[in-house]
Amino acid sequence: MPRPRSPGTTASALISVIAKGLAAAGIEQARAEAELIVRAACGLTAEDLILRPEAELTCAERERATTLASRRARREPVPYLLGRVEFYSLPFLVSSASIVPRPETEILAEAALGRAPRTRCRLAADVGTGSGVLACVLARHLDGLRVAATDISAHALILARQNARLHRAADRVLNVRCDLLSAVAGPLDFLVANLPYVRTGDFEGLQPEIRDFEPRRALDGGADGLDVIRRLSVQLSGHLAKGGFAALEVGAGQATEVANLLERGGLGSIEVVADYAGIDRVVIGWRRG
Ligand SMILES: C[S@@+](CC[C@H](N)C(=O)[O-])C[C@H]1O[C@@H](n2cnc3c(N)ncnc32)[C@H](O)[C@@H]1O
């Protein structure tokens, strides 16, 4: 006798039920996210869904999927549900200890890698390392580079250490809990920093995924968004080696002011790099050689 089926018994039926719920919660990519959730909860690949969409799910699998779906319906970011995210084509662990790494930050990674000296590069810093994605990408791409990765959040640094181990870079990424560069002795060949830059007044208007789930201290940069960057800008030339550079991620409309801050901090040859949306996203300043 075939077992009676209820909606949600098979992968494809459960995806439809979840997609409906997510759409009702205002989630735009409801169907795609429902698929991700069911795959993660049931250990299925994309191919499994194509080849065996009618495969029956166990009770435990259905329960796991519906639990994840209700978290998503409350607008928790997908990477927090899955516990992982891709950054610069590499897999990383992610948790609410840190923000979800953004595609814009890949522009910062690219800008730094494109300018870092390939031969004599010894020491760099990732200020406000969060989950450690930038530090790991730098260590993976630049042979022998050591990275001082700082953060004020002890929880973020636990995650950063896990990611450094995942990428077999724990011996070259030194995670340090401190304010900005206060515990880092230079000279640094270069540094990257994706520090908080959201204006306090803009915070409540952010998407619920960000506003309600990501750590506010990682995002809120004060009245004009530049409180933390401003404090860093006066420390840069004292920490950089001659001919070294600092590359900072900034928010929309902040590049000119950050360029001025870097110049006032003693850096020159300022460059600005736009992201794929055409927004000036990375400001780079050099210490004269
Ligand atoms: C926008 S998140 C960036 C995280 C990660 N670098 C990334 O790009 O995904 C900013 C990080 O800076 C850290 N942070 C904020 N103020 C800091 C400070 N004064 N010194 C060091 N880290 C700080 C936060 O805890 C947070 O992890």
Query: Do 63 and 113 have their domain in common?
Result: no
Torsion, CA 48, CA 52, CA 54, CA 57, rounded to 10: -40
Query: Do 69 and 118 have their domain in common?
Result: no
| Statement: the pTM of the whole predicted model exceeds 0.85 | yes
Query: Do 264 and 142 have their domain in common?
Result: yes
> Ligand 1: which atom is nearest the Cα of residue 179?
20
In degrees and rounded to multiples of 5, residue 32 shows phi and psi of -60, -40
Residue 90 included in any domain: no
Nearest CA to ligand 1 atom 13: 128
In degrees and rounded to multiples of 5, residue 221 shows phi and psi of -105, 20
Residue 92 included in any domain: no
State both tokens at 265. Answer: 């901090």
Residue 89 included in any domain: no
Q: Determine if ligand 1 sits within 6 Å of the CB of residue 175.
A: no
Residue 91 included in any domain: no
Nearest CA to ligand 1 atom 5: 130
Query: Do 157 and 279 have their domain in common?
Result: yes
Residue 2 included in any domain: no
Cα 194 to ligand 1 centre (Å): 6
Residue 85 included in any domain: no
Query: How many domains does the chain fold into?
Result: 2
pLDDT tens for the chain, residues 1 to 289: 444 445 558 999 999 999 999 999 999 999 999 999 999 999 999 998 888 888 889 999 999 999 999 999 999 999 999 999 999 999 999 999 999 999 999 999 999 999 998 776 699 999 999 999 999 999 999 999 999 999 999 999 999 999 999 999 999 999 999 999 999 997 999 999 999 999 999 999 999 999 999 999 999 999 999 999 999 999 999 999 999 999 999 999 999 999 999 999 999 999 999 999 999 999 999 998 7
